[in-house]
């Protein structure tokens, strides 16, 4: 099986990039050998997804340097519980675990908080949080809503899940248009995920 590690996909926290049109070569999915890490998250892109048509393989992998696989999977599932989206593949939620893992590598306190938080998720789920059903996962996450761990993961979701090229491709965002002459001649009317507005929504043309 060909495996695609996802590396360097999420910008630094607080960064807001303005990418151009997403091409296959732009996606942060490159084929290389696994590095030695504490844990590795793997999965497969849905064959019908936008990412599957852009990535060189449907298989993906994310290396964790500090957290183990179970903790990474728990953080992925917590991210999907907090910000569920049918458009986002698990590969995107894996970027959340990777970014939190990077923070843990820099701070013993952050590592302690994440490990204890994941253990609390398992305890609240009555076993493996990552393997629990959606209802049980939601219940477990809500039970930790007042904890610093909850705040840490929720805060990281904003940049990790939405400010990366895979998310842009999934939602059809093509990036800034000003330097390309605007959208008037390049997709101004190509919106597909909302119904066409009624004619009464626009004022008369004056002609």
Residue length of the chain: 207
Domain ranges in the chain are 24-165
Q: How far, in Å, are 143, 188, 204 from residue 161 at the CA level?
A: 23, 26, 41
- First-to-last alpha carbon distance for the chain, in angstroms, is 61
Classify the C-alpha dihedral 91-102-160-154 as positive or negative.
positive
* pLDDT tens for the chain, residues 1 to 207: 334 444 444 344 444 444 444 444 444 443 343 444 478 898 888 887 878 777 777 888 889 999 999 999 999 999 999 999 998 999 999 999 999 999 999 999 999 999 999 999 999 999 999 999 999 999 999 999 999 999 999 999 999 999 888 888 888 877 667 777 776 666 666 667 778 778 887 777 665
Q: What is the pLDDT of residues 36-93, one digit of tens each?
A: 447 889 888 888 787 877 777 788 888 999 999 999 999 999 999 999 999 899 999 9
Q: How far is it, in rounded angstroms, from Cα 154 to Cα 82?
A: 7
- CA atoms within a 13 Å half-sphere pointing along the CA-CB vector of 122: 13
């Amino acid at each position: 099986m060909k495996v695609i590690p996802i590396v360097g996909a999420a910008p630094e926290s607080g960064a807001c990039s303005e990418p151009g049109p997403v091409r296959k070569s732009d996606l942060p999915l490159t084929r290389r050998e696994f590095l030695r890490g504490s844990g590795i998250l793997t999965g497969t892109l849905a064959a019908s997804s936008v990412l599957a048509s852009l990535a060189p393989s449907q298989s993906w992998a994310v290396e964790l340097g500090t957290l183990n696989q179970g903790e990474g999977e728990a953080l992925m599932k917590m991210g999907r519980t907090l910000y569920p989206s049918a458009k986002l593949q698990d590969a995107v939620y894996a970027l959340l675990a990777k970014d939190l893992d990077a923070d843990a590598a820099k701070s013993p306190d952050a590592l302690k908080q994440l490990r204890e938080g994941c253990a609390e998720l398992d305890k609240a789920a009555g076993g493996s949080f990552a393997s629990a059903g959606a209802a049980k996962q939601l219940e477990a996450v809500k039970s930790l809503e007042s904890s610093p761990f909850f705040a840490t993961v929720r805060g990281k979701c904003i940049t990790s899940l939405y400010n990366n090229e895979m998310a842009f491709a999934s939602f059809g965002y093509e990036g800034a248009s000003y330097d390309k002459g605007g959208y008037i001649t390049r997709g101004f009317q190509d919106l597909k995920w909302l119904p066409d507005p009624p004619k009464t929504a626009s004022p008369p043309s004056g002609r």
